[in-house]
């Protein structure tokens, strides 16, 4: 097999035949602590080549999943609104054509246009948000469009009670006040609260947004804004596996920052999550041999 480090492990090149599509969105404009997430999509793809196409945990084979990697969305430099419009346009087209969009970030703000696009096609959409940070500020550093405000903008679009936030271990008092009325916020843990909320997600379209900093920086140092006392990769993957049977209609993995991760732990974990997600989704779609 020819290894292509510029595409994700096992990705085919047939867009027409693909039912799931990976696309990079290397936005890195509003990151306030340490920039570098623009290199996230490349790092995830590159480190994916370290993985097997076969998942031992799921006993499933990525080679049986009909997906492709479109590469990165071309984003205008220095203009946040135009970049978000470009992402929304691409994701809208993917959903229109019956594809499952999976976004590789990039800072967490890229989730906003992706969720907006998916929501137009699935008005009863639920969002599952795994993160160290609540991202519920009304504005941050003078702007309402930021990686620190993204989930507040999402909640305002979807309405109260449709954003489920798991693993949160950093939030401002203002954010917690907002969460009481608008989101379902669970602190520190991911798997146990997911088991609690899972019945509310069944028979609903679900969008997963995963900020890789939900994992403790000991295991994933390469993130935009590290926060101590996080979950383990084992808990994250256990939660991802528990998505089996839900109706996944979109996903993103964001805030991978390879500049602060010489060993490549964060992008490697992100790549493994994406492999597992693709296999889980394909089984849910009834694909044979996966």
| pLDDT value for 287 | 60
> Within its chain, how far is the Cα of 166 from the centroid?
13
57 is in an annotated binding site: no
Domain that residue 62 falls in: 20-284
d(CA 226, CA 182): 25
Residue that the structure tokens 């790092």 belong to: 43
- The answer to whether 167 touches 128, Cβ cutoff 8 Å, is no
- The answer to whether 52 touches 60, Cβ cutoff 8 Å, is no
d(CA 176, CA 199): 24
- What CATH number did the domain enclosing 126 receive? 3.40.800.10
135 is in an annotated binding site: yes
Query: Is residue 6, in this structure, part of any structural domain at all?
Result: no
Query: Is residue 15, in this structure, part of any structural domain at all?
Result: no
pLDDT along the chain (290 residues), means of 10: 66 90 92 84 97 98 96 90 97 98 97 99 99 97 92 98 99 98 98 98 98 98 96 99 98 97 98 99 76
| pLDDT value for 18 | 96
> Within its chain, how far is the Cα of 56 from the centroid?
22
Helix (H), strand (E), coil (C) string for 113-162: HHHHHHHHHCCCCEEEEECCECCCCCCECCECCCCCCHHHHHHHHHCCCC
Considering the entire predicted model, what is its pTM?
Answer: 0.96
d(CA 54, CA 33): 37
Query: Is residue 3, in this structure, part of any structural domain at all?
Result: no
Structural domains in the chain (count): 1
Q: Is 144 exposed, middle or buried (0-12, 13-18, 19+ CB in 10 A)?
A: exposed
| pLDDT value for 286 | 65
Query: Is residue 11, in this structure, part of any structural domain at all?
Result: no
């Amino acid at each position: 097999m020819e290894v292509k480090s510029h595409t994700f492990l096992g990705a085919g090149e047939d867009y027409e035949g693909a039912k799931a599509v990976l696309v990079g969105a290397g936005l890195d404009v509003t990151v306030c602590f340490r920039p570098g997430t623009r290199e996230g999509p490349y790092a995830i793809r590159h480190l994916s080549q370290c993985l097997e196409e076969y998942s031992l945990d799921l006993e499933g084979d990525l080679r049986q999943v009909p997906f492709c990697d479109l590469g990165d969305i071309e984003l205008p430099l220095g203009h946040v609104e135009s970049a978000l419009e470009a992402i929304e346009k691409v994701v809208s087209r993917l959903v229109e054509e019956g594809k499952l969009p999976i976004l590789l970030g990039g800072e967490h703000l890229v989730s906003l246009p992706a969720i907006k696009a998916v929501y137009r096609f699935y008005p009863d959409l639920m969002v599952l948000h795994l993160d160290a940070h609540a991202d519920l500020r009304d504005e941050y550093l003078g702007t309402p469009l930021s990686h620190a405000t993204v989930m507040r903008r999402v909640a305002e679009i979807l309405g109260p009670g449709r954003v489920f936030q798991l693993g949160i271990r950093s939030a401002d008092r203002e954010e917690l006040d907002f969460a009481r009325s608008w989101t379902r916020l669970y602190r520190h843990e991911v798997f146990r609260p997911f088991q609690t909320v899972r019945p509310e997600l069944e028979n609903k379209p679900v969008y997963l947004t995963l900020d890789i900093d939900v994992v403790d920086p000991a295991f994933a140092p390469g993130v935009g804004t590290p926060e101590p006392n996080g979950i383990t990769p084992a808990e994250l993957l256990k939660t991802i596996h528990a998505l089996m049977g839900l109706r996944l209609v979109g996903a993103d993995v964001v805030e991978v920052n390879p500049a602060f991760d010489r060993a490549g732990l964060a992008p490697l974990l992100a790549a493994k999550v994406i492999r597992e997600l693709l296999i889980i989704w394909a089984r849910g779609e009834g694909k044979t041999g996966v």
